[in-house]
Homo-oligomer: A and B are copies of this chain.
Amino acid sequence: MARIVMKFGGTSMAGTERIRRVANLVRAQAAGGNEVAVVVSAMAGETDRLVNFCREANPLYDPAEYDVVVSSGEQVTAGLLALTLQAMGCKARSWLGWQVPIKTFSAHANARIDDFPADTLIESMQAGQIVVIPGFQGISEDGRVSTMGRGGSDTSAVAVAAAVNADRCDIYTDVDGVYTTDPRIVAKARKQKYVTFEEMLELASVGAKVLQTRSVSLAMKRNVRLQVLSSFVDDDAPSADTLPGTMIVSEEEMDEILKEAKMERQTVTGIALDKNEARVVLTRVPDKPGAVAEIFIPLGEAGINVDMIIQNVGRDKGETDVTFTVPQAELARAQALLEDRKDKIGFNRIITDANVAKVSVVGMGMKSHAGVASTMFKALADRGINVQAISTSEIKISVLIDADETELAVRVLHSTYGLDDTSAAA
């Protein structure tokens, strides 16, 4: 017997038939003698519909009222899943955010969980009730409905798992696990049995949108065993124990798993790509102390997230070119802001390019293996792919390249680091 939290995303909850499929998966876990809590998203498309209503009503909307409107989507699916489970003969009931209560603090529309007294939920589960919790919502300090930002249901699920001290938090989604890279680009991508929290965080931050980043941080902090798996499986074999998903584990657990399997840690475990960045070059910036601060402090104050930064040696003495990336959605705002400060910063021209992509290699093994970067640059250079910028973390190397070369770069790197699924080869 175990205590399990199961989370289902919007695609899994889209309509009566799919909710019935979800209920079958839940029932199978409960029938196996497990205590089960379920966290659900709104039906696919519903949150967008509600957000649009808010925008139409008031473009500068009050986040507290926005929360009242958008939280209704999860309220509906939570009630419907409880009804469906009851129709199957299970004991089930919905627990809205304010009923648990899932107490949040900080801003509306982007609330964070403060306190999560779970005694009532635990008692209900111990009494054999399947507890169904709408994701994404809580109750704010002033007793109003709060929501946790788009994708917040993942975070709700991890918070429930931490609060009820669950043995596992299973995130059911429309993909069946975490792959070595996007399988739509690389047919030989392999599904990973295990990924560490740190790797998952880096993958999420560079565009592999399997889990909300905040949910992974919370799972890491609270040491919740996370599993990603697909809800679109045969109804005949709906046992999560046998489903080949991806388990997200701590570094220590990963070491033990590798030790037991007598395997070496792989240097690189995933290749991620992100086409939402744009490149900005400021030419002939004065090469003197404080010049770069004149560029990046105003961008930071405007809430524009600058990612990669390179300073090239300029053509003329005492000058330099500064290259960096910003999200494409912020490019126009960043450009206007910099033009306003042209004299103060003292640059010559702004050159922008939205036709770029960031490709990243991620792996815990990079901590202990040298030469990952040089292997990467050589592989790309061999194919004539030009690297426009580089950024690194302890377990990640990202390069900015021409967007048209993204697929080629990902395939080359996937093969270079030995990630291709050879078993599937013809």
* CB interface residues, A 64-91, toward B, < 8 Å: 64-69, 71-73, 75-76, 78-84, 86-87
Which chain B residue lies CB-closest to A54? B83
CB distance from A50 to the nearest CB of B (A): 7
Q: Does A94 contact B (CB under 8 A)?
A: yes
8 Å CB interface, A81-108 against B? 81-84, 86-87, 93-94, 96, 98-99
Q: Using known A-B contacts A53-B76, A75-B75, determine if residue A83 contacts B65 with beta carbons closer than 8 Å.
A: yes
Set B53, B58, B72: member contacting A72, Cβ < 8 A:
B72
Q: In terms of DSSP, what is the predominant structure of the interface of chain A? A: helix
| A316 within 8 A of partner (CB) | no
A162 to B75 Cα, complex, angstroms: 30
CB distance from A303 to the nearest CB of B (A): 23
Q: How large is the interface on A (under 10, 10 to 19, 20 to 34, 35 or more residues)?
A: 35 or more
Q: Which of A19, A54, A81, A83 has the most CB of B within 10 A?
A: A83
Q: Is the CB of A86 within 8 A of B99?
A: no
Q: Which A residues from 115 to 145 make CB contacts under 8 A with B?
A: 143-145
Q: Does A424 contact B (CB under 8 A)?
A: no
Determine the distance from Cα of A87 to Cα of B87 in the docked complex, in whole angstroms: 44
- B residues in contact with A96, CB < 8 Å: 68, 145
Contacts of A98 in B (CB 8 A): 98
Docked pose: A350 CA to B32 CA in angstroms: 54
Least CB distance, A330 to chain B, in whole angstroms? 25
CB distance from A79 to the nearest CB of B (A): 4
Report how far A59 CA is from B84 CA in the complex, Å.
10
Per the bound structure, the CA–CA distance linking A80 and B56 in Å amounts to 9
- Bound-state Cα–Cα, A68 to B72, Å: 10
**Chain B: CB-nearest residue to A61:** B83
How far is it, in angstroms, between the C-alpha of A159 and the C-alpha of B289 when the chains are bound?
Answer: 69
Distance of A69 Cα from B94 Cα, bound (Å): 10
Q: Are the CB atoms of A58 and B86 closer together than 8 Å?
A: yes
Q: Quick check: B76 and A58 within 8 Å, CB to CB?
A: no
How far apart sit A96 and B98, CA to CA, in the bound complex (Å)? Answer: 12
User: Can you list 15 A-B pairs with a CB-CB distance of less than 8 A?
Assistant: A16-B53, A19-B57, A54-B83, A57-B80, A57-B87, A58-B86, A58-B87, A62-B82, A64-B93, A65-B83, A65-B94, A68-B78, A72-B76, A75-B75, A96-B145
